[in-house]
């Protein structure tokens, strides 16, 4: 293969270099990284909210505090980069894929939360018949954890946009 043929082959594989002034290229890089840092912060906040919902059932204050701290740290990450004007970017292929993945996660989190709430309600219903206070409390905690998972999954677009 001759050198011109190699260059022609590489020109079909390699993308065109970005165009624009250096300040525009720097701003595009800042926008890209701040967008993804904000998304990661939103995911951290979402994970913290789910962890908090599940820790309610455990009655462990330390786990609940850790979950709230995770959630708050995710919101702090988002707030730190939110003022950079990252939401004025047009939708690209990566944004579309990210949105579809988040929709999938939100849908299945809501479904699993609904199942947990249903199981908790059934546990509570059977505990009423048996007059068992411990089982009633366990059923109510399971119901609450499932309901919180459902609620958090419906507001996922607020965490990650």
DSSP state letters, 92-104: -HHHHHHHHHHHH
Angle between helix axes 61-82 and 22-55 (nearest 10 degrees) is 160
Residue 15's pLDDT band, with cuts at 50, 70 and 90, is low
> What mean pLDDT, rounded, does the chain reach?
78
pLDDT tens by residue, 57-105: 777 888 888 888 888 888 888 877 776 544 454 445 556 667 777 788 8
Using CA atoms, how far apart are residues 147 and 73, in angstroms rounded to an integer? 23
| Cut 0.75: pTM above it | no
CB-count exposure of residue 10 (10 Å: 0-12, 13-18, 19+): exposed
Question: Are the CB atoms for 113 and 148 separated by under 8 Å?
Answer: yes
Q: SS3 for 97?
A: helix
């Amino acid at each position: 293969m001759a050198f011109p043929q190699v260059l022609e082959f590489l020109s079909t594989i390699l993308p065109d270099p970005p165009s624009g002034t250096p300040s525009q290229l720097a701003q595009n890089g800042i926008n890209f990284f701040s967008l993804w840092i904000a998304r990661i912060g939103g995911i951290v906040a979402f994970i913290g909210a789910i962890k908090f919902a599940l820790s309610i059932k455990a009655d462990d204050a330390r786990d609940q505090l850790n979950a709230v701290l995770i959630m708050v740290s995710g919101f702090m990450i988002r707030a730190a980069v939110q003022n950079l004007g990252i939401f004025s970017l047009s939708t690209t292929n990566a944004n579309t894929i990210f949105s579809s993945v988040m929709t999938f996660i939100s849908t299945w989190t809501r479904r699993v939360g609904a199942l947990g709430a249903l199981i908790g309600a059934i546990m509570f219903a059977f505990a009423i018949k048996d007059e068992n206070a411990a089982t009633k409390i366990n059923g109510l905690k399971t119901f609450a954890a499932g309901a919180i998972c459902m609620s958090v999954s419906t507001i996922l677009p607020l965490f990650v946009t």
